[in-house]
């Protein structure tokens, strides 16, 4: 049986690059921008607010742009950007599939709204919940 390589000589697994991250290119020089990963998707934060999420898993509803918003702000955004609709799983967020003919136009408009700090886009991220340890009497 071959001897395994020492840990420092092993190659790190290659993580597949999400092809939709170009959507965040316009934010790169904004000091309030932060890019992160969440649930296998790429996310864009602006001034600490979670604003956009790009998913490229190949099947709906995880194949496009998710707009982080609240139920109260959905109607206004959907009226302005017709391709948006509530996400099938995360109902308080809006979604546009990359297969939608208006995808690029919608993405451009949403990027403008994020850069303008439009209050309809963005949610306060929840902190991680700490597991409570069982108390011993």
Question: Rounded distance, CA 66 to CA 36, Å?
Answer: 14
pLDDT tens for each residue of 112-122: 999 999 999 99
pLDDT in tens, 22-69: 999 999 999 999 999 988 899 999 999 999 999 998 889 999 999 999
Q: Does the pLDDT of residue 136 top 70, yes or no?
A: no
Please list the alpha-helical segments (H only) found in 2-132.
71-80, 103-115
62-86 burial, b at 16+ Cβ within 10 Å, e below that, comes to bbbbbbbbeeebbeebbeebebbeb
Over residues 80-95, the pLDDT tens digits come to 999 999 999 998 999 9
Question: What proportion of the chain, given as a percentage, has pLDDT over 90?
Answer: 72
Q: Are the beta carbons of 121 and 110 closer than 8 angstroms?
A: yes
**For residue 116, what are its two tokens?**
């303008």
């Amino acid at each position: 049986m071959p001897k395994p390589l020492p840990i420092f000589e092993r190659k790190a697994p290659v993580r597949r690059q999400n092809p939709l991250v170009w959507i965040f290119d316009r934010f790169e020089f904004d000091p309030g921008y932060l890019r992160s990963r969440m649930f296998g998707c790429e996310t864009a934060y602006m001034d600490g607010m979670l604003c956009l999420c790009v998913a490229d898993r190949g099947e709906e509803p995880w194949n496009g742009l998710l707009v982080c918003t609240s139920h109260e702000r959905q109607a206004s955004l959907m009226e302005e950007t017709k391709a948006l609709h509530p996400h099938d799983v995360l109902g308080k967020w809006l979604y546009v599939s990359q297969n939608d003919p208006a995808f690029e136009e919608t993405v451009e408009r949403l990027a403008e709204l994020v850069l303008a700090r439009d209050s309809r886009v963005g949610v306060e991220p929840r902190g991680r919940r700490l597991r409570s340890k069982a108390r011993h009497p």
